Each structure stands twice: as structure tokens, then as C-alpha cells.
Amino acid sequence: MKAIGLYQNLPIDDEQSLIDLELAQPHPTGRDLLVAVKAISVNPVDTKVRAPKGGDTQAQGAARILGWDAAGEVLDTGEQVEHFKAGDRVYYAGDISRAGSYCEAQLVDERIVGHMPASLDFAAAAALPLTGLTAWEALFDRLQVHRDGTDAGKTLLVIGGAGGVGSIAIQLARRVANLKVIASASRTKSSVWTKQLGAHHVVNHRNPLDRELRELGLETVDAILCLNDTDQHWPAMAAAIAPQGRICSIVDNRAPLALNLLKPKSATFAWEFMFTRPLYQTHDMTHQQQALNEIAALVDRGELKSTVNQILQPINAANLREAHRQIESGRTIGKIVLSGWE
């Protein structure tokens, strides 16, 4: 089968950073599905795993296959699979500890796979799993926002609203939880995008965000989802969070965070890492299957839309290198998807 992989961690301008390969097709056992990958999308995690690590570019023994967003069709199933059969159209983000989706056929545990939205094609569906699950878990697990409308009218600040996760989080917060959503953006195009997705207000994260919020008449917000530079925004987040409020971030910190700033407010800070459940084989792994199925239902009802903003064809090393370049620029809006094999 065709695949795109790497033997060394190299800068994306090096043609060997991602190369076209031919690999043997795997066989599913246990709870695994074998999925014919029809479309994939590229995320910052792809570029971080691929990039050089402290100058180390040592060749690896076997090619590493990246990619943690895919939509496709089930080819075969392991003997313990309960919820899928050959021919089912599925979408998923996968498991960072296993081979990824940059290949024609991939093994993935059924517990982290959802049935694809019936109203979408493979390309539009492939843009949703990783960002959809990250936004879902951040809002409903980490920030403990209620999906039944109990929190209607409460305020949420989404820092970095135009990226992949922010683009889904804004929609879920506005249309499912009925929150008042303030998104941050730093460019006109990003601001327009977040407004189109449902943000009530847009602030500029190049300025201190607590000051930006005060200019809207908001001294504090009930919850904050940080998707852009935790270190830079930490003082403003600590100042802007409401007493007993919650902050969640998906962005690694570079220096220790002053958590003591939250103590007077009894505020909570939590990390969100979408790969935690499959990585540690937690007892609630099927939470991701359930979330993906609920996201698909929201899409099919017209309450949530795919955030695909660019499609590259076909799926090959050259196009993946281009997608990685764009992601590394830090200026992408929505999601970049690759569709179809040569």
C-alpha cells in the first residue's frame, strides 16, 4: 500500500522530511478496524512530531507514519469488534502511540472511531475528528460546561479562535451550550472567520486580553479555553477568570506557570490532551466514539459545520510537505485536508 513517512526528523524544506513509501497492508485483530483512508487533515501535532528534536536527525530503524485525522471506509474488522462492519464510512483521530493515517490502510481501535456524518464527503469529514474531540473534551470534560443549556448565558473566552480547535469550540459553545462566546484573533480574516462561526465578540490577542475584555464591559469571564501561547496569556487569564471559574489549555508551557495567581479565586486549571484516553487505554475510551457520533449528529442536523478551508490533491509527500509548511507558518485558518490517492 502507499504511505508517506519519515526516517529522520528533518526541517520541512528538506525533501527527505516526508517521503513516499510502499508498505505491506496490515491485518486487523482484536478490537481493531482496518480502514481504507480516503482523506486526511493535518494538525500542529503532525509538525511537532516530524520536526527535529534538539538537533537530533538520526535515522530511525523503520519508517514512522504520522497523521491523526482521517475519514475512510472499513475494509475488515478484528474478531472482537462490536460496532462496525466492512463498508461502514468512519472518521477518527487515532492514537499517537500507533502508526498514523498517512497511508492507504490503517489499523485503529473501534473505541475511538465514529460513524462519519452522512451529510459530508470524506474530505469535509476528515477535518473534524481531532479538533472536534479536543474541543468537546475541553469544553464538556475539563471546563465542565453543561450541554443541556444549564450554563446558557455564561461567558467563554476562546484564545486563538480561528484555528482548528477554536473553530469547533466556538460552534459547540454557541450552538450546543448556548454560551456567550468571546474569541480572540489578530488579523481581519481571522476575526471575520470567528464571527461567521458564531463568536459574539472578537478581541485581539496581541494586546493584554484582560484589558481587551474590559473594553467590552467584562471584568471577568466564567471560563477560558487557551489555544494560543499559554505563557504569554497566563497573567491576563489569571486576572480575567471569574471566582471559581475554570481555565483549560492545550498549548504546552515553556516556563513554570504561577498557579498561585488562581488561589484567591479558587479557580481551576486543567490541561486537555485528546490522545490521553487511547494512550493510556483508559476505562472510558468509548467516550471518544460516543463524542464523534454526537458530533456527526450535530453536523447532520445543521448545527455544526466542517471547518475545512483548503483541500490539496492527491495525498502524497509533496502535498503533505506543503501542508506542514503552512501549519508551521502559524497563519492557517480552519483546516487543511488532503484527499484521494494517485
Question: 157 and 221, same structural domain?
Answer: yes
Domain C-terminal end among 231, 251, 271: 271
Contact of 96 with 17, CB cutoff 8 Å: no
Peptide bond into 314 cis (omega under 30): yes
Instruction: Please give the grid coordinates belonging to residue 116.
Output: 462519519
Q: For residue 320, what pLDDT is reported?
A: 98
One domain, residues 282 and 326: yes
Whole-number Å distance between alpha carbons of 219 and 260: 20
What is the CB-side half-sphere exposure of residue 171 using CA atoms within 13 A? 24
- CATH, residue 167: 3.40.50.720
> Number of folded domains in the chain?
2
Q: Which of 250, 271, 292 is the last residue of a domain?
A: 271
Q: Give the pLDDT score at 342.
A: 87
Question: Does one domain contain both 301 and 243?
Answer: no
Q: What's 98's domain CATH number?
A: 3.90.180.10
Give, for 323, the enclosing helix (H) or strand (E). Answer: helix 317-328
The answer to whether residues 123 and 240 belong to one domain is no
Q: Residue 213: give the domain boundaries.
A: 131-271
Label residue 57 exposed, middle or buried (CB < 10 Å: 0-12, 13-18, 19+).
middle
- Does 161 share its domain with 239? yes
Distance of alpha carbon 312 from alpha carbon 41, whole angstroms: 10
Are the CB atoms for 66 and 50 separated by under 8 Å? yes
Based on the domain organization, do 72 and 36 belong to the same domain?
A: yes
Residue 25: is it exposed, middle or buried by C-beta count within 10 angstroms (0-12/13-18/19+)?
middle
H-state helical runs in 18-174:
44-50, 122-126, 129-136, 164-171
What is the structure's pLDDT at 102?
A: 98
Below-50 pLDDT ranges, the chain: none
Per-position DSSP letters for 184-243, written without gaps between them: E-SSHHHHHHHHHHT-SEEE-TTS-HHHHHHHTT-S-EEEEEE-S-HHHHHHHHHHHEEE
Tell me the per-residue pLDDT of 128-187, one tens digit each, with 9 for 90 and over: 999 999 999 999 999 999 999 999 999 999 999 999 999 999 999 999 999 999 999 989
Same domain, 58 and 161: no
| Domain identity same for 45 and 68 | yes
Q: For the whole model, what pTM was predicted?
A: 0.95
What Rg value do the Cα atoms of the chain yield, rounded? Answer: 20
**Are 289 and 208 found together in one domain?**
no
Residues 245 and 316 grouped into a single domain? no
- Last residue within a domain, chosen from 222, 240, 271: 271
Block residue for cell numbers 504561577: 258
The reply to whether 137 and 266 lie within a common domain is: yes
193 and 147 fall within a common domain: yes
> Strand, coil or helix: what is 109?
strand
